[in-house]
């Protein structure tokens, strides 16, 4: 029985694109499942707030801290000019950051750099940990980084690639769901201070415009990243 399982596993790992498709479907299941999404959405929030933080620093703002909450919401605080391109870019790049991280992950996996992807992700989480300002945020980042470290340290190269494939799919697909959730909340009048509404007040462009822009970026990342992931010949 063990030989049969081992043979089946080897065939699956050698299939490349077929395995990637299965992992993509698994990621979709995790995203659409209520219980799994409530837990794993914390990973999406980490990427979202990390995007705000990185762009705030790149635009010359001072990063004051990041808070991650148990309801999977988050808050990135920065100081600087309250209007202008720096503030607009900081607000804008929270939602696209998740999809862009997934796209970067897909590129690294497709070039057989799964281990490098894991260490880049761990490094980013370590840097983010310095900016976390609440206990739940610390726990979320440490657990996420610990899981990635365990894979990078203990898993065989093929299984590192499997985990990176799944993570890339999860980020590419999962980056779109919060945009849909925000659209629903705005339609019900429950998100007056969302990123889209703050951008609307800063720029005069309606919140729907920013939602549309995030959808376009997310879908483009999914198409490009998905193509890379599905063309992997074998692991």
pLDDT digits (tens, 9 = 90+) for 1-52: 445 445 545 555 556 678 889 999 999 999 999 889 999 999 999 999 999 9
* pLDDT, tens only, 79-105: 999 999 999 999 999 999 999 999 999
Return the DSSP state at 206.
Answer: -
Average pLDDT, the chain: 92
* pLDDT, tens only, 107-155: 999 999 999 999 999 999 999 999 999 999 999 999 999 999 999 999 9
**What does the pLDDT average to over 57-64?**
96
pLDDT at 8: 45
**What does the pLDDT average to over 213-234?**
93
Helices (H) and strands (E) in the chain, counts: 11, 2
- Burial code (b: 16+ CB inside 10 Å, e: under 16) for 56-76 equals beebebebeebbbeeebebeb
């Amino acid at each position: 029985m063990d030989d049969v399982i081992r043979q089946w596993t080897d065939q699956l790992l050698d299939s490349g694109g077929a395995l990637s498709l299965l992992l993509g479907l698994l990621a979709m299941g995790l995203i659409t499942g209520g219980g799994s999404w409530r837990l794993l959405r914390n990973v999406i929030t980490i990427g979202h707030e990390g995007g705000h933080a990185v762009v705030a620093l790149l635009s010359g703002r001072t990063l004051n801290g990041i808070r991650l909450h148990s309801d999977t919401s988050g808050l990135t605080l920065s100081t600087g000019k309250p209007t202008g391109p720096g503030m607009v870019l900081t607000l804008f790049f929270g939602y696209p950051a998740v999809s862009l991280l997934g796209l970067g992950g897909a590129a690294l996996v497709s070039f057989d750099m799964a281990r490098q992807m894991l260490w880049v992700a761990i490094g980013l989480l370590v840097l983010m940990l310095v900016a976390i300002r609440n206990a739940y945020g610390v726990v979320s980042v440490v657990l996420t980084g610990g899981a990635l470290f365990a894979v990078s340290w203990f898993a065989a190269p093929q299984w590192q690639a499997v985990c990176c494939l799944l993570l890339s799919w999860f980020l590419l697909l999962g980056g779109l769901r919060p945009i849909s959730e925000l659209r629903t909340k705005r339609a019900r009048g429950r998100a007056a201070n969302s990123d889209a509404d703050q951008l609307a007040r800063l720029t005069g462009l309606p919140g729907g415009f920013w939602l549309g822009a995030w959808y376009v970026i997310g879908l483009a990342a999914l198409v490009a990243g998905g193509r890379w992931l599905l063309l992997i010949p074998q692991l």
